[in-house]
Amino acid sequence: MAYVINDDCIACGSCIDECPVEAISEGDIYTIDPEVCTDCGTCADICPSEAIHPA
Ligand code: SF4
Ligand code: SF4
């Protein structure tokens, strides 16, 4: 399992520096690499758009 970023992402960039394993990539909508994500939930807690949820 991994966390997933949905269409509510506003590309604010807040999550990318919070990920301890650098699983998040920039884009029009940011994305999480499921092979790298450790399900820690840190990014979901800080996302202002509540765009990040467990898959
Ligand atoms: Fe997108 Fe949320 Fe990350 Fe901001 S914190 S880039 S809105 S997923
Ligand atoms: Fe990174 Fe944790 Fe978010 Fe996974 S849940 S992308 S490991 S901050």
- What pLDDT, in 10s, does the model give residues 37-46? 999 999 999 9
Q: Is the CB of 3 under 6 A from ligand 1?
A: no
Q: Would you state the structure tokens that stand for residue 50, as one six-digit string?
A: 């509540």
Atom 1 (ligand 1) nearest CA: 9
Read off the pLDDT band of 17 (50, 70, 90): very high
| Three-state DSSP state, 4 | strand
pLDDT of amino acid 51: 98
* pLDDT, mean of residues 24-47: 98
* Ligand 2, residues at Cβ distance < 6 Å: 3, 18-19, 21, 23-24, 32, 37-43
* CA 47 to centroid of chain Cα atoms: 8
Structure tokens given for 43: 């990014």
Predicted local confidence at residue 38, as pLDDT: 98
pLDDT higher than 90, residue 1: no
CA–centroid distance, residue 10 to ligand 2 (Å): 17
